Structure 1
Amino acid sequence: MADTEMREPTFFILASLVSGRKHGYAMIQDVAELSGGRVHLKVATLYTALDRLGKQELVATAGEEVVDGRLRRYYTVTESGSEALELELQRIEANARQVRSRLLLRPVSLRAASGAIA
């Protein structure tokens, strides 16, 4: 996974699970909050991603319980999942540093017109 960029929903699913085990609905809510409302997971999308991440050993099931007559399955991030998330965060930060340095090289007239980035 380190050779390719991680899709944004995957990034936020793993980030959600870093704080502890969660069931699907809690992940959907947490991902929306973590992403500032940019990522809205549908149930089918979430469970497809969790199946894929489970096969990649980035997440694991972490128990089940019945709540209001419905089975609730919990998930947790694995050590490999935490490492993949950390690598992706480093990749994003490195890209941001490169772009920020380029933005600072813009002619002064362009920076003044668009609002300087510090």
Structure 2
Amino acid sequence: MEKQTPLTEALFYILLSLRKPNHGYGIIQEVEGLTGGRVVLGPGTLYGAIQTMAARGWIRIYSEETDSRKKKEYVITELGRHVFAEEKKRLEELLHNAEKMEGDTW
């Protein structure tokens, strides 16, 4: 498997928000809430990321309404969980190394 990390912050938070089925507006709200408003996903960013992650097999459509709006819910796949876990491990290593070096002079 090709190397999937590092993830952009948007991809990281979208994957995190899809641990349970969620639709686009729900993802936007959850990411904004998780980050205290620091990360606000625009529709273009969100749906571009969704297309990319679906093409990579990281997420899949969970359900789709059949009315005219066709609201879709997405959910993370096992591959997506693996990619997320690898990125989390990478970020933990970065934090651990930074904390080890805190006493050093810059």
Q: Percent identity?
A: 31
What amino acid maps onto 1:51 in structure 2? Q
In the other structure, the counterpart of 1:100 is 99
- What TM-score do the two structures reach when normalised by structure 1? 0.81
Match of 2:80 in 1: 81
Shift of 1:3: 5.3
Write out per-residue CA displacement over residues 4-44 of structure 1, whole angstroms, 9 at most, x where no aligned residue.
311000000000001x1001000000011122322111111
CA contact (8 A) 2:58 2:79 kept: yes
RMSD across aligned C-alpha pairs, in angstroms?
1.8
Cα distance 1:47–1:3, how it changes in 2: closer, same or farther (>3 A)? closer
Give the equivalent residue in structure 2 for 1:14.
Answer: 15
Aligned residues: 105
Paired AA for residue 76 in structure 2: V
CA distance in 2, matches of 1:29, 1:79: 24
Listed as ranges, the matches of 1:1-118 within 5 Å are: 2=3, 4-18=5-19, 20-65=20-65, 70-106=69-105
* TM-score normalised over the length of structure 2: 0.89
Structure 2 vs 1, CA of residues 87 and 48 (structure 1 numbering), >3 Å: closer, same or farther?
Answer: same
Where 1:85 maps in the other structure, the secondary structure is helix
Question: After the TM superposition, which parts of structure 1 deviate over 4 Å for at least 4 consecutive aligned residues?
Answer: none
Amino acid at match of 1:45: T
Of structures 1 and 2, the larger Rg is shown by 1
Structure 2: 5+ residue stretches without partners: none
User: Which structure 1 segments of 5+ residues have no match?
Assistant: 111-118
Using the alignment, how far apart are the partners of 1:3 and 1:44 within structure 2? 22
* Aligned-partner residue type, residue 24 of structure 2: G
